[in-house]
Amino acid sequence: MHESPLPEQPVPMLRWRWIAALAVLSALPFLFVRVPPLTDVPGHIGRFAVQLAPADSVLHRYFDFVWRPTLNLAADLIVQALHPLLGPLAAMWLVCAAVPVLTVLGLLAVSRQLNPRGSAALPWALIFIYNSPFLWGFVNYAFTAALALCGFASWIALERRRALRGALFLLVAPALFLGHGEGGALLLLWAAGYEAGRAGRWWRPRAAFGVTARLWPFVTVLLPLVLSRGDSGTTAWDFPGKLDEMTALVRDQHALLDIATVAAALGVLLLGRLRDARIVRLGLWPVVGTAALFVAAPLQLSGTNNVDMRLAPYAVMLALALQDWRPVATRWRRLLLLAGTMLLALRFGITTASFLGYQREYARELAALDHIAPGSRVLNLVRSDCGLRAWRQPRVTHLGALATAERDAWTNAHWAVASIHLLQVRYGPPGFATDPSQLVYPQDCVGPGGEKRQRRTIQDLAPRLPLGQVDYLWLIDVPLPPGPADPRLVPVWRSGTSALYAVHPPEGT
């Protein structure tokens, strides 16, 4: 006799006690670190120092910070509210640690609503919680996208209480857009996709009108969209680059493991399709819409980088969570669940161990701050790399910005795109005012063509460093080129290939 392929019981992982346990467990890596080792986070913390600086702070000589509505304010607003209780560093730590917790809660709540008995691929979906956009430190986006998942689950749960849902989302929708425009757009896209699934043939005029009418609470997103209009930055597409972005959805410590993980997850979706495991009807359009938006989105939008790559992990995550495996034989479902759980545990263990390693690396590099006088001007140079060598990032690209937070110092490691950021730089030697002026590359990473023209080696930069306009030169994994050292550079700290030099004026001046 053929065993029944249609289980009647919900997937155990979707019981609320398991959801709560998994959500709390997802933040475990952050318990071992003081500064979250996400590439952009030190830059955020440095900016908060300017944001929160008293009126008489020396930082106002170097930077401007002016509040205005933008679609990128999630962490800024939260830190502004929490810093009297926690301080900016702890407040930012809390925001970062909340991202995996909220993502797990939102994703499993959506699956509980739409696919409670068929989500055998849930462990595979949870692998994408620590995705590349989050590990890059796109915290405003990741935090808002996590809330968007929770909002999507709430939209579904409140289907029969539409007055309450309308009142709630009149406030939630614009708040998410203010937190991050792209993260807020995901909530609108998922709600629209869900309503399209309920309508059936939504492309017919009457059904399309009904879908639009049910989305009326999102009318308030026009407010942040209108208020945030400002100077527009660069917008550019890179369609061939989307293939590279797909292979790097969970780029972390090991290229082979990370690429194989993505391939295996996509293989799960394909295997399920071949064995009649379909994405549930009410989840189909949210998944298809997210994937289509990834394909259509630009690489850069109004100065914001990596717009398209932020979307792909959520398309895969939702597809895996909402693929209904009930038509597949029990033994296949159990094998899928076991394999996914083992891979999830392996990757989670590697990520946790890597956080411990980054904590040690950060502590070693940040020891230089003890030798910097408050209020100084610090020129920071950081080694970057290219190709597969750059897969496992040291995540120190913006570590120099912590000199602003810890020593009230000017540094060139901040980003300050006028169309996006509230921080702008008042002081800066030409060519060394903002990110990416701190990046230094090995010789084999520079050459003719494309982005390589913008890459600079320490040999190229050493003769042009504006030493007369700064007080310190802080090198992170960047040894000075061989030969006689500039007499103005006086070493005050060293650790391996990192060093801090005080800049003294030449004798006789």
pLDDT of the residue at 5: 46
**Among 415, 436, 429, residue whose Cα is nearest residue 377:** 429
436 in Cβ contact with 423 (< 8 Å):
no
Q: How many CB atoms lie within 10 A of CB 53?
A: 16
Query: How far is it, in rounded angstroms, from Cα 488 to Cα 260?
Result: 50
Phi, psi for 89 (deg, rounded to 5): -65, -50
Beta strands in 332-404 (DSSP E): 377-383
Express each pLDDT in 40-76 by its tens digit: 999 999 999 999 999 999 999 999 999 999 999 999 9
Query: How far is it, in rounded angstroms, from Cα 299 to Cα 309?
Result: 8
* Predicted confidence (pLDDT) at residue 1 exceeds the cutoff of 50: no
43 in Cβ contact with 150 (< 8 Å):
no
> What share of the chain in percent tops pLDDT 70?
95
Could you tell me which residue, 51 or 507, shows the higher pLDDT? Answer: 51
pLDDT of the residue at 180: 96
pLDDT grade for 373, boundaries at 50, 70 and 90: very high
Tokens found for residue 269: 């979706």
182 in Cβ contact with 72 (< 8 Å):
no
Express each pLDDT in 283-325 by its tens digit: 999 999 999 999 999 998 877 889 999 999 999 999 999 999 9
Express each pLDDT in 142-183 by its tens digit: 999 999 999 999 999 999 999 999 999 999 999 999 999 999
**Interacting residues of 103 by C-beta distance below 8 A, sequence separation 6+:** 26, 129, 142, 145, 146, 149
- What is the mean predicted confidence (pLDDT) over 455-469? 93
pLDDT of the residue at 4: 41
At 475 the three-state DSSP class reads strand
pLDDT of the residue at 302: 79
Please tell me the pTM assigned to this model: 0.95
Tokens found for residue 328: 């597949």
* Predicted confidence (pLDDT) at residue 94 exceeds the cutoff of 50: yes
Query: How far is it, in rounded angstroms, from Cα 247 to Cα 261?
Result: 9
Query: How far is it, in rounded angstroms, from Cα 425 to Cα 412?
Result: 9
Residue at 305: amino acid letter? N
Q: What is the dihedral of CA 235, 238, 239, 245, to 10 degrees?
A: -110
Q: DSSP letters along 101-156, please?
A: HHHHHHHHHHHHHH-TTT-TTHHHHHGGGS-HHHHTT-HHHHHHHHHHHHHHHHHH
**Interacting residues of 51 by C-beta distance below 8 A, sequence separation 6+:** 65, 76, 79, 80, 422, 423
First-to-last C-alpha distance (Å) of the chain: 96
**Among 165, 194, 25, residue whose Cα is nearest residue 105:** 25
Q: Scan for tokens 């995901």, then name that residue.
A: 186
The b/e string for 57-74 (b: 16+ C-beta within 10 A; e otherwise) is eebeebbebeeeebbbbb
Taking the mean position of all CA atoms in its chain, how far away is CA 454? 24
Express each pLDDT in 380-401 by its tens digit: 999 999 989 999 999 999 999 9
- What is the mean predicted confidence (pLDDT) over 192-219? 92
Q: Are strands 498-503 and 472-476 parallel, antiparallel or unpaired?
A: antiparallel
pLDDT of the residue at 2: 36
The angle at the Cα of 44, spanning 458 to 464, to the nearest 5 degrees, equals 20
Q: What is the dihedral of CA 158, 163, 165, 166, to 10 degrees?
A: 150
> What share of the chain in percent tops pLDDT 90?
86
Q: How many CB atoms lie within 10 A of CB 201?
A: 9
